[in-house]
Homo-oligomer: A and B are copies of this chain.
Amino acid sequence: MTRKVPTPRRRESSLSREQIVEASIALLDASGESGLTFRALAEHLATGAGAIYWHVASKSDLLTAACDAIVARSLHATARKSAAPKPAIRALALALFDAIDTHPWVGSALTRAPGSLPMVRILERIGQQVVALGVPGAAQWTTTNALLSYILGVSGQNAANAHLAREQGFERDSFLGEVSAEWAQLDGAEFPFTRSVAAHMLAHDDRADFLAGVDLILAGIPAARRR
């Protein structure tokens, strides 16, 4: 993070970390995690594969940086609304859900980078609202963690669905149709619940269900305190 004063003497159009991250995001959005390749990146940036390593430590460094750019952007867009804590948490949750829906690779990449900067950004924002909610000190960590896990968990699953559907050339709807049909054919004695929700899962609205789950957790917070 210590940035030395640069003395740009050579050509002005030299490679920069931001350029590389931006190009990475474009590749990731276009063709998923497998689309991010040092060779593809080099071609995209009209340079050699080795050049990228001057600005970036490794592929996982690059992926984390790309994640952080998306997360920071998304959090920035929902910042400073100064709403009450619970509406603020709902807005935050939806912003992340939408960001991960738009950039499905963010979901799985975040999971593999615990304690990294993008995760800390989210933790911080949720935590501040949990504190504002009046949750006592000892429960703040647990409550924030529960919300964080739910938000990233469901958003990630939703994105994985979308990604898998696209990968198999289906529309998202017809992919859900496939899964629903599979579930409906499961053994009734062994999988009664899954069979019973097969129809609902076909018709459901991912975003609305996601928000309902957030509300479920939010509802549990005062209830848990009252015990």
Contacts and interface: CB of A to CB of B under 8 A. Distances in A.
A227 B219 contact: yes
A51 to B, nearest CB: 26
A156 B82 CA distance: 32
Contacts of A143: 216
A146 B217 contact: yes
Given A150-B153, A154-B145, A218-B220, A194 B112 contact: no
A191 B182 CA distance: 46
Given A201-B141, A218-B220, A224-B215, A157 B164 contact: no
A108 interface: yes
A175 to B, nearest CB: 9
A31 interface: no
Interface string A190-227: 11111011001100100001001101111111111001
A23 interface: no
Contact of A213 (B115, B145, B201, B209): B145
Interface stretch (A3-11, A14-22, A84-92, A121-129): A121-129
Copies per complex?
Answer: 2
Interface residues of A, number: 60
A74 interface: no
Nearest to A183: B120
Given A113-B160, A140-B197, A146-B213, 19 more contacts: A114-B160, A115-B183, A120-B186, A124-B192, A124-B193, A127-B194, A140-B196, A141-B209, A142-B213, A144-B193, A146-B150, A149-B149, A149-B157, A152-B153, A153-B153, A153-B156, A216-B217, A217-B220, A220-B221
Interface of A: 107-108, 111-115, 120, 123-124, 127-128, 130-131, 139-146, 149-150, 152-154, 156-157, 160-161, 164, 179, 182-183, 186, 190-194, 196-197, 200-201, 204, 209, 212-213, 215-224, 227
